[in-house]
Amino acid sequence: MSRLAVGSLVAATCLAFVGCESTRNDFTAGVREKFSGPTYKIRAFSGESRAIFDAARDTAKQLGFRITREGAAQGVIEGVSGLDSDAALRGTRQQTIKVRLENLANGGTEVRVLFTEVVEDDFNKGAGQGTETSLRDSPLYESFWSGMTGQLVR
């Protein structure tokens, strides 16, 4: 085998493995979620639990989510974003938010939030055949935490 062929083979192999670490991490997280469920992002806030609930609900609304379910006593807020469709109008995307609040022993409140994306990529497959995927590293999380902090400071 010539040196050029060997060099090309080595270069192709190196290029094939570029980004494997992030791919492996995403794959591992995806497999873990299949068995244990999606991973919520968690923060603790001090203050009155109703004020924290209201801040979470108001922040979700400010981020563009329509609240579909809420209960202060249950510590539950859920919502959906508007629908986005592709240019050919063959599929849609929609994001969801799920917030769970739990009172802590020290008087604070633990807030868990999960953003997911529902993709229905081909209406020919039939209605309701969407795929839901958690958004693990979305900037929505930081926007949510910043919005909540801003709501609580007021």
Do 27 and 44 lie in one domain? The reply is: no
In sequence order, the 6+-apart residues with CB closer than 8 A to the CB of 81 are: 64, 65, 66, 94, 95, 96
Do 50 and 70 lie in one domain? The reply is: yes
Do 4 and 63 lie in one domain? The reply is: no
The lowest-confidence range among 21-25, 62-66, 74-78, 114-118 is: 21-25
Which letter does DSSP use for residue 47 in this model? S
Statement: residue 9 has pLDDT above 60? no
pLDDT of residue 116: 95
Q: pLDDT of 30-41, one tens digit each?
A: 555 555 567 899
pLDDT of residue 28: 53
Do 32 and 66 lie in one domain? The reply is: no
Higher per-residue confidence, 107 vs 122? 107
Do 107 and 47 lie in one domain? The reply is: yes
Statement: residue 23 has pLDDT above 50? no
Do 80 and 130 lie in one domain? The reply is: yes
- Alpha carbons 133 and 34: distance in angstroms, whole number: 10
Do 86 and 18 lie in one domain? The reply is: no
Say if residue 79 is exposed, middle or buried (CB neighbours under 10 Å; 0-12, 13-18, 19+).
Answer: buried
Do 79 and 92 lie in one domain? The reply is: yes
Do 99 and 147 lie in one domain? The reply is: yes
- Alpha carbons 19 and 149: distance in angstroms, whole number: 35
Neighbouring C-beta atoms of residue 65, cutoff 10 Å: 23
Statement: residue 45 has pLDDT above 70? yes
Which residue range(s) make up the domain with 6? 1-37
Tell me what the pLDDT averaged over the chain comes to: 80
Higher per-residue confidence, 4 vs 59? 59
Do 46 and 112 lie in one domain? The reply is: yes
For the domain that residue 132 is a member of, what is the CATH number? 3.30.310
Q: What total number of domains does the chain contain? A: 2
pLDDT of residue 6: 47
Do 91 and 139 lie in one domain? The reply is: yes
pLDDT of residue 15: 47
Do 18 and 62 lie in one domain? The reply is: no
Q: pLDDT of 55-97, one tens digit each?
A: 999 999 999 999 999 999 999 999 999 888 767 666 788 999 9
